[in-house]
Every structure is written in C-alpha cells, then in structure tokens.
Amino acid sequence: MRNRIIIFMAILSFSFANAQEKISLSLEDAQKYALEHNRTLKNASLEFQKAEASRWQSIATMLPQISASAEYDNMFGYKMDLGEFQISMPNSITYGATASVALSGAQVVAVQIKDISKKMADISQQQTEQQVTDQVKTLYYSALVLEKTAALLEENLKNLQKLLVFTQKSVDVGMAEQTDADIISVQVASMKTNVNATRRSLEMAYNSLRLQLGLDVDTNIELTQSIDELMGVDSSLAILNSSFDPENNFDFQLMQQNLQLAKKQVSAQKWAYAPSLTAFYQYTQKEYMSDEATMNSTPPNMFGVSLSIPIFSGGSRKKAVKEAALNFQQQLNTYEDTRESLIIQHRQLVYNLKSNFETYETQLQNLKVVQRLFDNIARKYEQGVASSLDVTNAGSDLIDAQNSYVQALLQVVNARIELEQLLNVDNEN
C-alpha cells in the first residue's frame, strides 16, 4: 500500500511538473513577459545603472575628499648626536586627518558629459525594449502564419491521400493505369516533405520566441490569438495616417545626444586653459611614548590653497580644441542628414506597407481561387473527367499559391512593424 502511495505521488508530481512547462500567451502577454524576462533587456538595464554609477563618480570628484592616517615609529633607542649633548629618539604614534577639495571647470563639464551618457543609456534601454517587443511580435506572427500554413498543407495532404487510395483501387480493378497512381504518389510524398519542412520552420520560430521570452527550451508555448484576429484591415492601415515626428524616433534621439556630447567635448577642451583650485586642511597629532622632554616639530593644524594656472603647452591645447570643434561640425552634419533620411525612410515605409497589403489581398484571393480549382479538379478526377496530370498540376499551383500567400502576409507584418518602430508607436495588434 505504501509503495502505491509513493508511485501515485510521483505521478502527480510529474504531471504537475509537465503542467508547469506550458504557458499560454496572447501577443500582448508575450510582449509583457519578454520585458520582464528577456536577457538582452536585462543587460540594457544594467548598462543604464553603470552610466548612473559613472555619473556619480564624476560628481564625487568635486566633493570634499577626507582621509585618515596613523603611523607608529620605533627608533630602537637611537640617540641623535648634537655634539655637546645627545637627544634620545623615543617611540611615537602619529595620527591625523586630511580634508581636501579640488574645483575646476573641467570637472563640471565632465559631470555634464556623464549626464548625457546617462540619457543615452536610458534611450538605448527604451530602444532595446522596443526592439524586443517588435521581435516578439514578428515571431508571434511568424508562428501563427506557419501554423496556418501547416494546417493548409496537411488538409491538402489528406485530400491527395484520398485520391491516391481511390486511384490505387481503380488500378486494382483495371480502370486506371499504375502510372496514374505513381504520379499522385509522388505528389503525396512532395506534400509530406512540405508539411515536414513547415513543421521544422515552426519549431525554429517557437525556439526563437522562447529565447526572446527567456523561457526554458522545453517550455511548451500556446498562442491564444489567431492570425485572422491580429490581421485586421483597420488596425493594419490605421498606422498609415499617423504623422511622423523625428523627435520621437530613438535613433534620432540618440543622434541628438551625440550632438550634445560633441558640443560638451569642445567645452571640456576649452576648460584646459582655465586654472584649477585646490584647498586642504590637515590635522596631525603626535604622541611620544617617553617621559623625557622631546622636541615636537609637527604642527597640529595646517591649511593650504593652491592655484594651478596653465601657461604654455606647445599648442597642444589649441589643437585639441580645434579637433573637438571639427568633430562637433561632423556630428552636426550627420544630425541634419539623419533628420532628412528619416523623413525619406518614413515615406518609403508607408509606400511599402500600402504595396505589401495590396499584394497580400491579391494573394489571399488567388489562394481561394486556386483552392477551389484544386477541389474541382479532384472531384473531376474521381468522376473520370480529369487526368492524374491535371491533379498534379493543380496541386503544384496550390502549393505555389500558399507559399505566395504566406510570403505576402509576412511582408505585411514586417512592413508594419518597421513603420511602427520608426514612428515609435505601439499598436495593440
């Protein structure tokens, strides 16, 4: 009885473990899950934290720096010979603290540069989030398209297998030639190959989706939305009416920060001409480990200020400023080119989406027509009106139509995602 209970509990545990390996996701759920678990996005978040830490390091250089020290001296009974008399050098302990602060314009500019770097890390993180969600969307659509393609091919395979059985029976009773059965048999084998290839491509899509979601490779993913649900005409074409503002594009935002960074570099090089100020305060106390009177030449308090003024550097500072100014001009030219290229890119992507959607609608209608034609040829073949060659040709046409439909559908998806990425918008579908 005890063994039965143990076996029963083991079965329950195994079933629960398997249940834990399945996850059902809508497109929106998949995108949210990726934002929480995608490893590339985690690295982008760490990069932002590194930029924040680097910024505080620069700020810390302008804050007071405080250090403490302690020193023990043992002269082993040494006596200083001063001619007529000798002075014993007793053991001593010296301890103290020093506070200093250094200020220069270059430090201020360095902090400003770190601020820009932090902003760039923040923009890069947001861009990575967009790229991850877009990649999840592409893979989600791809998996749905491949699922639908596999279903269409498997339905065609069933129809061809029925025709093969019918043909073979006709051959057996002498109503058809064996070559007719052979021709359809080849068509069946070809269809099986297409089904298997589609299934392998589907598994690759799921593996890529698992990687984007940060899931274990053995996790079973169930997609809860269909391709027909997501491919609404209104939602696909509504984005065409969206106005384009380059300021919302992440690439353009990064270019703006690069421009500001180049400008600050010019300021940083100019500050090399400016003086720097350093102030310090030092407290020191020295205690002798002897009862004898001992001369103490260590002052307990000390304050100092130093001003460093650069005078001549052989022209290196002047050339450094010129180099930074030339780099800023280059960034300014790139900035203007980027703005214009993004506007042109927007127009091209709008054209691509319109064109691809028109192609998709045409291929969808073509698929319906070719499917009806294949079904009609199959019925005629069973009635003895059409030949096996007609069935083979109709089957090949159907496969071509399905492939063209799938390609057109994926082109619409990709064009739509590219346009959304450029506009920096996130549609629900």
Tens of pLDDT, residue by residue over 102-145, are 777 778 888 888 888 888 888 888 888 888 998 999 899 989 98
Q: Are strands 22-25 and 220-223 parallel, antiparallel or unpaired?
A: parallel
Q: What is the pLDDT of residue 366?
A: 95
Q: Report angle CA 245, 246, 250 to the nearest 5 degrees.
A: 120
- Find the angle CA(254)-CA(259)-CA(265) to the nearest 5 degrees: 125
Average pLDDT for 213-232: 86
* Domain ranges within the chain, ordered by starting residue: 24-60+105-274+315-423, 63-103+275-309
Percent of the chain with pLDDT over 90: 17
For residues 290 and 287, give the distance between their C-alpha atoms in angstroms, rounded to a whole number.
9
User: With bands split at pLDDT 50, 70 and 90, how would you rate the model's confidence at 426?
Assistant: low
The pLDDT value recorded for residue 350 is 92
**Cα–Cα dist 245/243, whole Å:** 7
Encode pLDDT of 323-353 as tens digits: 889 999 998 998 989 899 999 999 999 999 9
> Which of 1.20.1600.10, 1.10.3720.10, 3.40.470.10, 3.20.20.80 would CATH assign to domain 24-60+105-274+315-423?
1.20.1600.10
What is the pTM assigned to this prediction? 0.73
